[in-house]
Structure 1
Amino acid sequence: MAGLFFAFDVSVMPGLAAGDERVYVTAMRAFNAAIDGSPLFGTIFVLALLASVASAAVEYRGGRRATALWVGAAAVAYLAVLVITFTVNIPLNNELAGTDGSAIVERFKTTWVTTNIIRTVLCTAALAALARALVLHGRATR
C-alpha cells in the first residue's frame, strides 16, 4: 500500500493536476472504479491489518514482546490508514462519482491529495515497523 499511495503522490495526482479538469475527473473516476471493482484489492487492503494483528498476537504469545510491540505499532499505523481512507478518501471518491466533478476538483487537489500523503507516511511507517519486527523475530528465533 505504501508503494501505491506513493505512486499517486509523486506521479498520478501531480500529472492529473497539470491537465484539464475534465481529464482529472474522468481519470479519477476510472481509477476509483478499477479499485472498487477489484475484489483482490479490497481483500488485500483489509487483510493487511488482520495479518498484522494476528502476527502481533502470535509474537506476544510466543514471549517475543518487543517484536509484538513493533508489529502492533504497524497495525495501529495501518488502522489509521483505513480510518482515513473510509472517512475521507472514499467519501470524496463517492462524491466525485455522483456529481459533475467540477465542484469537487479543488477538494481533491487539497484534501484528497493531503490525506493520501498522510496515508503514504503511515504505510511507510508501518512497513518500517514490520521490518524492525522481522529483524527482532529472526534474532529471537535463532
Structure 2
Amino acid sequence: MTTTATTSTAGESVLTTTLATGTARGPVLVVAAVVAGLQAGTFFTWSTGVMPGLARVDDRTFIDAMQNMNVAIVNPLFIATFLGAPFLAAAAAVVTHGSARRWAVAATALTVATLVVSFAGNIPLNDALEAAGSVDKIKDLAAVRADFESLWVKLNVVRCLTSAGALGALAVATLRSRA
C-alpha cells in the first residue's frame, strides 16, 4: 500500500511511512491471526470439552453452570478477541495486496459470520436462559434446558468452524504476503 505523508505531525508521518513501506503488514497479520486463533480456541474448547462435560450433568447443574459461565465470559479479554477479530482481519485486508488480501478478506467475512451467529443465535439463547430465572425458581428445568442446549451447541460448532476458518485464511494471507 502506498501513501504519502501530507502532514507535519510525527505520529501521522510514522503511520504513513509504515503503511507506505509495508512494514505494518507483518505485525498486523500476526496479531490478527493470534486473535483469530484465540477466538477459535475458545469456541473449540466449548465444543469439545465444556458442553460435552455439561451434557453429563443434571438439568439443575447444567442451567446453573451455563448461567454463571454466561456472566463470567463477558470480560475484557473475551470481548477484545470476540470483537477484535473482525477488525484485525479487516486491518489485515487493508495492509495486504494481491492474493494475501483475498485471504484476509475471506478471514474478515468468516469473523463477521462468527459475530452474526453469536448475535443472532447464541446470545439470544443465553439471554433466554438468564430470563428463565434462578434454578431455584424454574418450575420445569428439563424444558428450559431442552429449549437451550441442542441449538446452542449446534450454533457453537458453526462459530468454531468459522473462527478456525478465519485463522486458516489469515495463516495463508501471512504466507502469501511474504511471497
TM superposition shift of 1:24: 0.4
Q: TM-score, normalised by structure 2?
A: 0.71
Pick aligned residue for 1:67 from 63, 80, 100: 100
Pick aligned residue for 2:156 from 111, 116, 123: 116
TM superposition shift of 1:41: 1.6
State how far apart, in whole Å, the 2-side matches of 1:125 and 1:44 are: 15
Deviations 1:64-93 (A, max 9, x none): 221010011011011000000011100110
State how far apart, in whole Å, the 2-side matches of 1:6 and 1:40 are: 17
Task: Structure 2: state its 5+ residue gaps.
Answer: 1-38, 133-137
Aligned length: 134
Q: Point out the structure with max Rg over C-alpha.
A: 2
Structure 1 residue 41 and structure 2 residue 78: aligned? yes
**Residue of structure 2 equivalent to 1:16:** 54
Larger helix percent: 1
State how far apart, in whole Å, the 2-side matches of 1:11 and 1:108 are: 18
Deviations 1:13-37 (A, max 9, x none): 111111100110011111110012x
Pick aligned residue for 2:124 from 91, 95, 116: 91
**Residue identity opposite 1:116 in structure 2:** N
Give me the identity figure in percent. 37
**Residue identity opposite 1:58 in structure 2:** V
Task: Structure 1: state its 5+ residue gaps.
Answer: none
State how far apart, in whole Å, the 2-side matches of 1:5 and 1:44 are: 12
Secondary structure, in 3 states, of the residue corresponding to 2:178? helix
State how far apart, in whole Å, the 2-side matches of 1:65 and 1:138 are: 11
Structure 1 residue 136 and structure 2 residue 176: aligned? yes
**Residue identity opposite 1:76 in structure 2:** A
**Residue of structure 2 equivalent to 1:56:** 93
Point out 4+ residue stretches in structure 1 off by more than 3 angstroms: none
